[in-house]
Amino acid sequence: MKRIGVFICHCGVNIKDTVDVEALSEFFMSRDDIVHAEDYMFLCSDPGQKIIKKAIAEHKLDGVVVASCSPTLHESTFQNAIEEAGLNKFQMEVANIREQCSWVHNDKPAGTRKASLIIGASIEKLKLNESLEPTSAPLTRRAMVIGGGIAGIQTALDIADAGYEVVMVEKKPSIGGHMIQLSETFPTLDCSQCILTPKMVQLAKHPNITLHVNSEVKDISGFVGNFKVTVERKAQYVDPDLCNICSDCSTVCPVLVPSEYDEGLGWRRAIYIPFPQAIPASFTLDIDNCLGLSPIACGKCAEKCEANAINYDASPTTFEVEVGAVVVATGYDLYPVENIAEYGYGKYPDVVTSLQFERILSATGPTGGVVRRPSDGAEPKEVVFIQCCGSRDPEHHLSYCSKICCMYSLKHAKLYKHKVHDGQPYIFYIDIRAGGKRYEEFVQQAISEENVLYTRGKVARIFNEGDKMVVFGMDTLTGKKVEIRADMVVLAMAVVPSYGSDELAKTLKAGTDKHGFFNEAHPKLRPVESLQAGLFLAGACQSPKDIPDAVSQASGTAAKVMVLLSSDRILHSPIIATVDDDLCSGCGICIGTCPYGAREMDLLTRVALVNDILCEGCGACIAACPSGAAQQHNLTDDQIANMIRVIALGDE
Amino acid sequence: MKEFEPKIVCFLCQWCTYAGADLAGTSRLKYPPNGVVIKTLCSSRIDPQHILLAFTEGCDGVFIGGCHPGDCHYQTGNYKTQRRIMLLKTTLEQLGIRPDRLRLEWISASEGRKFAETMKEFTAHIQELGPLPKANLTEE
């Protein structure tokens, strides 16, 4: 039998006022199964800990119950103390007699009775506690970042700068994400490409970073510290190492395709460079639009390429990467504009999305940065910007706020005004949300100095009359109908998780919310980790974010990844499930119960094993086990039963 | 005659309700001392057999506290708990134990007040029901 000592803290008067600590220590001292009991004013203090350590040595204790405040506060303090005295830290139990007893009761006899039950139950648990060590496994000190937008780039650079290898996987032919499409950024109006491209180049040249574009994650196996990720790479028809971006190939390509980079407002060829600063700096062949790879069908580009960079025989490749951590940075896309039919997108060429307007404003855009409307190339004199297109509309579209639209719509209005001095921007809004550093000042300056006209209300319908767009809405402040005859309309489309990220979430077994945004482990305290150990989040894949937020989170994520990679072994709490091989009937109920895929059937022995690293110790499989084969270390069914008996017996 | 003091065992998950109970303490909210807590990592650790054992060993009420739906630290543990408790309640009825002696509540770490109020209310309710009759006696 264990030699157990009970230590009862007065916590000054915090416990002592409602619990008769002296009577309790006398009572436990008198019990046959308790070797030693004493009470002290502040057990967490240095002298308090010394008392415990001394008693362990003097009375040869091999288990300790400390009755004090909540374990959240001082469990680790007392664990350290008994470890210093030579005991395993799991041979200590905290009996919470302050938060859950003395502070919530007034009656001292009743409080004392309850405290004795709490301590009694803790003693029963302690009696069957095993000495445990954290489990550990070797770790691959390499990270994967999925998505090469600003969040992914920042995460990859930070991790790589710390000396760890990073593998970046990007679906598109170039990294840069949506940020590379933007004209200027709020609230400073600095050029988006000017601040992003140096980072892209840095990433491409970084000795610790391997970049795979045109690639997607297809499968993942393993667990935190030791993932095996299967990546599929599209056929690489143009060798980026040989391509010298002379653009001879695209000059002879007979195919025109709407440019993704210009959001369909401009054209590209079937062999093209996504944008001038693309990384990798190489042309790429869009096989879906190419006339044919054989020289009979077309083959003009290969004929023209002096560098011999074009190889028609290339085929898709699949490869496996071993990493210790995976960062999801898949960003966002815009809510499908077709879903808001009343705004006439598609029907009227001068109704454009916010990203299209970014391209119209951008110096690298289809109009070279001159504001021209798509229908006839005329300079629009009146432009209506409509916010919350799809956002904050739970009845018809999405319930959440897309967060960035208030600021970028205003930015659009300002930039437009800077280019068309006699133009008039109007903004329809529900609320102006400008909660960010220097954001409110940005709004106020636009209203007072740039003559941006705000109308609070929603637009009901847009129709055309001659060469004008009639924007028909309601001013909810005056209650009057509003009709603006505009030359152009810009829709601030809601931000949604990037298309395809739902598939990725399934592949990675990562949780998402009902809108498809990846779930963080805790909204406040673990905002960059997912619940899946070893899987991290950065940027707008978690929720709509502007650039400052995405970059901050990316650096935070990188720090968390670096913590994980900083050791060559990974430690894991031993308070997990365990299986008695003899009792396990191999029914497999536990396997379906486990949210982490930590239970696995050994097909040879028909025993449902526990993966020590994956198991988080929730205990769901243990409660589900019909044969009692599954148990939790230090919270076995026997321990729970014995605690119940103490409570059920009461003070009888 | 001395008022009936029910014996209640409270299984609280450590992430939400246990922390909520701690918050009730730091906020010095008062509630009756009848419930004694057993901490589990997740409410889904609680086997219906533990609850039955509590009743057979002499508890008059069993309380289970978990995270709100969607907030479970272990993704879906609280849903499993809910299903198990719903099933168990029908079994309790068949065994002659009133199902309202067993209560499941979602109480978050920020809901100290809700924990205290729930404890008051549940204790009063069990007090009203009176002691759980010993074996083989069916309740009205």
Instruction: Transcribe A406-459 into DSSP letters.
Output: HHHHHHHHHHHHHHSTT-EEEEEES-----STTHHHHHHHHHHHS-PEEEES-E
> Does the distance separating the beta carbons of A575 and B26 come in below 8 Å?
no
- Averaged pLDDT, A249-274: 96
Q: From chain B, pick out residues whose CB is under 8 angstroms from the CB of A623.
A: 44-48, 80, 84
Cβ of residue B49 closer than 8 Å to a chain A Cβ = yes
| Strand, helix or coil for residue A645 | helix
Q: Which of A239, A296, A241 is nearest to A271 (CA)?
A: A239
pLDDT 10s digits, A365-379? 999 999 999 999 999
Tokens of A433: 């949300």
Helix (H) or strand (E) holding A252: helix A248-252
> Does the distance separating the beta carbons of B74 and A637 come in below 8 Å?
no
Burial of residue A487 (CB within 10 Å: 0-12, 13-18, 19+) is buried
Cβ of residue B117 closer than 8 Å to a chain A Cβ = no
How many other CB atoms are found less than 10 A from the CB of residue A346?
10
| Strand, helix or coil for residue A9 | strand
State the Cα–Cα distance between residues B47 and B40, nearest whole angstrom.
11
Domain A4-132: state its class.
alpha beta
In this prediction the ipTM stands at 0.96
More confident residue, A59 or A223: A59
Residue A312 has pLDDT above 60, yes or no: yes
β-pairing, A63-68 with A4-9? parallel
Residue A618's closest chain B neighbor by CA? B42
Torsion sign across C-alpha atoms A164, A168, A174, A178: negative
Cβ of residue B50 closer than 8 Å to a chain A Cβ = yes
CB A165 within 8 A of CB A142: yes
pLDDT of B60 reads 96
For an interface test with A, give the residue of B11, B30, B45 to mutate (most A CBs within 10 A): B45
Q: For chain A, what is the radius of gyration of the CA atoms?
A: 32
CB A120 within 8 A of CB A37: no
> Does the distance separating the beta carbons of B75 and A511 come in below 8 Å?
yes
pLDDT 10s digits, A11-33? 999 999 999 999 999 999 999 99
For chain A, where do the domains classified as CATH 3.40.50 start and end? 4-132
* C-alpha dist (Å) from residue A353 to A264, A388, A468, B68: 11, 12, 17, 38
Helix (H) or strand (E) holding B19: helix B17-26
> Does the distance separating the beta carbons of B9 and A650 come in below 8 Å?
no
Residue A536 has pLDDT above 60, yes or no: yes
Portion of chain A with pLDDT greater than 70, in percent: 100
Q: Which of the four pLDDT bands, split at 50, 70 and 90, describes residue A652?
A: low
Provide the residue type at B138 as one letter: T
- Averaged pLDDT, A568-582: 92
Nearest 5°: the CA angle A191, A197, A201 is: 165
Q: How far B100 CA sits from the closest chain A CA (Å)?
A: 18
Tokens of B128: 């009203």
User: In the Cβ-directed half-sphere of B119, how many Cα atoms lie within 13 Å?
Assistant: 32
- Averaged pLDDT, A466-474: 94
Query: Reading across the β-sheet that carries A453-456, which strands appear in turn?
Result: A351-353, A488-493, A382-389, A424-429, A453-456
Nearest Cβ partner of B33 from A72, A114, A648?
A114
pLDDT of B72 reads 84
> Does the distance separating the beta carbons of A619 and B44 come in below 8 Å?
yes
pLDDT 10s digits, A65-124? 999 999 989 999 999 999 999 999 999 999 999 999 999 999 999 999 999 999 999 999
Cβ of residue B51 closer than 8 Å to a chain A Cβ = no
Nearest Cβ partner of B47 from A72, A121, A637?
A637
State the Cα–Cα distance between residues A42 and A16, nearest whole angstrom.
11
State the Cα–Cα distance between residues A226 and A324, nearest whole angstrom.
5
The residue assigned the tokens 């006398």 is A26
pLDDT 10s digits, A587-600? 999 999 998 889 99
Q: Which of A66, A17, A14, A60 is nearest to A43 (CA)?
A: A66
Q: How far A599 CA sits from the closest chain B CA (Å)?
A: 15
For chain A, where do the domains classified as CATH 3.50.50.60 start and end? 142-234+316-331+498-565, 333-496
State the Cα–Cα distance between residues B30 and B10, nearest whole angstrom.
16
pLDDT 10s digits, A400-435? 999 999 999 999 999 999 999 999 999 999 999 999
Provide the residue type at A252 as one letter: V
Tokens of A524: 């406040």
* Eight-state DSSP code of residue A234: -
Tokens of B62: 């069993």
Tokens of A58: 């003097």
Tokens of A310: 């074009």
Nearest Cβ partner of A70 from B22, B47, B50?
B22
pLDDT of A617 reads 93
Domain A333-496: state its class.
alpha beta
Nearest Cβ partner of B36 from A522, A635, A647?
A647
Q: For residue B58, report the phi and psi dihedrals to the nearest 5 degrees.
A: 120, 5
Nearest Cβ partner of A623 from B19, B47, B73?
B47
Domains defined along chain B, listed by start: 8-138 (3.40.50)
> Does the distance separating the beta carbons of A620 and B80 come in below 8 Å?
yes
Q: From chain B, pick out residues whose CB is under 8 angstroms from the CB of A107.
A: 33
Helix (H) or strand (E) holding A232: strand A226-233
* C-alpha dist (Å) from residue B87 to A372, A392, A595, B82, B122: 66, 39, 21, 9, 20
| DSSP E strand stretches across A62-153 | 63-68, 92-96, 135-138, 142-146
Residue B29's closest chain A neighbor by CA? A104
Nearest Cβ partner of A647 from B7, B19, B47?
B7
Q: For residue B109, report the phi and psi dihedrals to the nearest 5 degrees.
A: -65, -20
Residue A222 has pLDDT above 90, yes or no: no
If you write DSSP's letter for every residue of A536-564 in order, what string do you get?
Answer: EE-GGGTS---HHHHHHHHHHHHHHHHHH
> Does the distance separating the beta carbons of B116 and A575 come in below 8 Å?
no
CB A65 within 8 A of CB A4: yes
Record: fold of A573-633: Alpha-Beta Plaits (3.30.70)
- Averaged pLDDT, B84-106: 95
> Does the distance separating the beta carbons of B50 and A640 come in below 8 Å?
yes
How many other CB atoms are found less than 10 A from the CB of residue A137?
15
Q: Which of B101, B23, B19, B33 is nearest to B65 (CA)?
A: B19
In chain A, helix, strand, coil percent, each to 5? 30, 25, 45
pLDDT of A293 reads 77
Residue B46's closest chain A neighbor by CA? A623
> Does the distance separating the beta carbons of A645 and B38 come in below 8 Å?
no
Burial of residue A472 (CB within 10 Å: 0-12, 13-18, 19+) is middle
pLDDT 10s digits, A107-132? 999 999 999 999 999 999 999 999 99
pLDDT of A320 reads 97
For an interface test with B, give the residue of A73, A75, A99 to mutate (most B CBs within 10 A): A99
Residue A522 has pLDDT above 80, yes or no: no
Cβ contacts of A421 within 8 Å, gap of 6 or more: none
> Does the distance separating the beta carbons of B25 and A644 come in below 8 Å?
no
Q: How far B140 CA sits from the closest chain A CA (Å)?
A: 22
Residue A164 has pLDDT above 90, yes or no: yes
State the Cα–Cα distance between residues A564 and A321, nearest whole angstrom.
18
Q: From chain B, pick out residues whose CB is under 8 angstroms from the CB of A617.
A: 41
> Does the distance separating the beta carbons of B49 and A637 come in below 8 Å?
yes
Provide the residue type at A213 as one letter: V
Q: What is the mean pLDDT of chain A?
A: 95
Domain A142-234+316-331+498-565: state its class.
alpha beta
A325-339, A522-536, B112-126: the lowest-pLDDT one: A522-536
State the Cα–Cα distance between residues A36 and A6, nearest whole angstrom.
6
State the Cα–Cα distance between residues A352 and A59, nearest whole angstrom.
81
Q: How far B2 CA sits from the closest chain A CA (Å)?
A: 14
Q: From chain A, pick out residues whose CB is under 8 angstroms from the CB of B47.
A: 622-623, 637, 640
C-alpha torsion A431→A435→A441→A446, nearest 10: -30
CB A333 within 8 A of CB A499: yes
DSSP lists the bridge partners of residue A490 as A352, A385
For chain A, where do the domains classified as CATH 3.30.70.20 start and end? 573-633
Q: For residue A228, report the phi and psi dihedrals to the nearest 5 degrees.
A: -115, 115
Nearest Cβ partner of A648 from B7, B24, B41?
B7
If you write DSSP's letter for every residue of A45-88 in order, what string do you get?
Answer: SHHHHHHHHHHHHHTT-SEEEEEES-HHHHHHHHHHHHHHTT--
Residues in chain B: 140
> Does the distance separating the beta carbons of A575 and B41 come in below 8 Å?
yes
Burial of residue A623 (CB within 10 Å: 0-12, 13-18, 19+) is buried
pLDDT of A487 reads 97
Q: Which of A468, A373, A357, A370 is nearest to A418 (CA)?
A: A370
Residue A121's closest chain B neighbor by CA? B38
Residue A114's closest chain B neighbor by CA? B33
